[in-house]
Amino acid sequence: MKHLMAAFLIGLLFINHVMAEETDWSDYAKVLKFVQPGEKHGTPLAVVNYAALKQSGQVEKAYQTIKQFDVSQLQGHDEKLAFYINTYNILALKMVVDHWPQKSIKDVGSFFSPVWKKEAGIIAGKAVSLDDVENNIIRPMGDPRIHLAIVCASVSCPDLRNEPYTAAKLNQQLNDQAKVFLANNKKGMLIQHGELNVSKIFKWFKQDFEKVGGVESFIRNYRADLAASTKVSDYLDYDWTVNALEK
């Protein structure tokens, strides 16, 4: 009986440990309720009601979740990647909300002190910028689909997903993000007169897509209508206007 009880208690401890590994994203899920389909400058996108979001205080709650989370609990590639994609998106939202109203997230910074280099929050006890999270943590994890999941609060960025990223669904979520972005001919990909124009994201991070065979090869995974001979000929204009709901 004692052995059975001991095994039961050990089992409970194991279950609690497993359950505690990944972050509770409930507060971030509430933030995403302020996101809705919309259009800006002729581009369909997911717009954010920043005015209402600021008033709600919900971004700060989501930020406290990631600030207080012990990242040493994260197990494996997918848990870590999901955590830091959500972290980037929360910090970008926080940057806009903290300085609202702004026409562009870039207006929070300046030429000599760009917003990407400014302190965006505290993670694992250390001050981090958006640049730190993207270039020092997320990109080295080696999955170019992240560029279609992290959102810098701008019209031409990929859309904010309407749910948090999680380890259990990460592969499906990232594939879906790629499909949605590449289906948007205003900011993802446009085939015109037989020529392929794509987001400047594919130019800025070209080397990351080389890991999966290059930009055209990556795109063909999600756009079956792209001919084998089609090459990128130009890049779409990038609209840095904040992805805000306009009333």
Residue type, 191: I
Residue located via tokens 């992805």: 243
pLDDT at 22: 77
Please tell me the distance from the alpha carbon of residue 6 to that of residue 62, in angstroms, as a whole number: 37
pLDDT digits (tens, 9 = 90+) for 159-177: 999 999 999 999 999 999 9
pLDDT at 229: 82
pLDDT at 8: 47
Domain boundaries along the sequence of the chain:
23-235
pLDDT at 155: 98
Question: pTM of the predicted model, to two decimals?
Answer: 0.91
Cis omega (within 30 of 0) for bond into 101: yes
pLDDT digits (tens, 9 = 90+) for 97-112: 999 999 999 999 998 8
pLDDT at 13: 43
* Joined tokens for residue 177: 């993000």
Burial grade of 178 (CB within 10 A; 0-12, 13-18, 19 or more): buried
- Residue numbers in the chain where pLDDT is lower than 70: 1-21
Asked if 157 and 181 touch (Cβ cutoff 8 Å), the reply is no
pLDDT at 10: 46
User: How big, in percent rounded to 5, are the helix, strand and coil portions of the chain?
Assistant: 50, 15, 30
